[in-house]
Amino acid sequence: MDGNRRWAKEQGMPTNEGHRKGYEKLKEVMSWSREAGIPHVVIYGFSTENWQRSEEEVSYLMQIFRFILENEIGKMIEKRIRVRFIGDLARFSEDIQKMMMRMEADSDGKEYDSTLHLAMSYGGRAEIVAATNALLKEGKISVSEEEFSHTLWTKGMVDPDLIIRTGGEKRLSNFLPWQSVYSELFFSDTKWPMFTKEEFDAILAAYSERERRRGK
């Protein structure tokens, strides 16, 4: 979901307003995804690199996360959306960690129409290193792809069929490097707050026409 800060700057608004608008757009896209019958949505909400941003910006983002955890995710569960968090969650404050665990527990073991995977304090390289160290700690000297996948933060999550990045950049920026090897990639020049349902639907239509051979 790239382009919040640049959109705000173009509008003569503070950075925080861009993040607020980006959060509103996220709710719209979740609605569009459900309408399209997409069973799994992965959102790159906060990267391991994002911790390096200014203290003011990180603090504001934490306020948004708390608001989502306290107000919005409960509504998602009511709408039969399961919620999962992936990333180095130990870096968050204790209260945020507890809210994350509670939200996951509230939807655990229940039947839902869709699952929202929120990548928070997530970095693909950090994930791979963490999984490798965990396996070494277990005394493993050789593992299968399945064993390695099960040790990742994303264990239990299906690999993404389609990845969309807004904002004009043509790279994945440390997002799901292990899981994305056969994902179809779409890069949009539209900044995230201005992303439209028309463009979303057009991407889905283009995706449906691609032939996915997976090396066969």
pTM of the model as a whole? 0.91
Q: What is the model's pLDDT at position 59?
A: 94
Percent of the chain surpassing pLDDT 90: 80
**CATH, domain 4-208, list 3.30.360.10, 3.40.1180.10, 3.40.50.1400, 3.40.710.10:** 3.40.1180.10
Q: For the residues 43-66, what does the mean pLDDT come to?
A: 93
2 is catalytic: yes
Q: Cα-Cα-Cα-Cα dihedral of 46, 3, 117, 104, to 10°? A: 50
Helices (H), 3-123: 4-10, 15-35, 55-67, 73-78, 94-107
Residue 130 and residue 88 in contact, taking contact as beta carbons nearer than 8 Å: yes
Q: What is the model's pLDDT at position 110?
A: 65
Q: What is the model's pLDDT at position 190?
A: 98
CA–CA distances in Å: residue 6 to residues 9, 59, 150: 5, 19, 37
Q: What is the pLDDT of residues 160-189, one digit of tens each?
A: 999 999 999 999 999 999 999 999 999 999
71 is catalytic: no
- Pick the residue with more confidence: 166 or 64? 166
Report the C-alpha gap between 200 and 68 in whole angstroms.
23
Q: What is the residue-averaged pLDDT of the chain? A: 92
The residue annotated as part of the active site, out of 50, 88, 159, 174, is 50
Report domain extents, the chain: 4-208
The answer on pLDDT for 109 being more than 70 is no
Please work out, in degrees rounded to the nearest 5, the angle formed at the alpha carbon of residue 180 by the alpha carbons of 175 and 181: 135
Q: What is the model's pLDDT at position 72?
A: 79
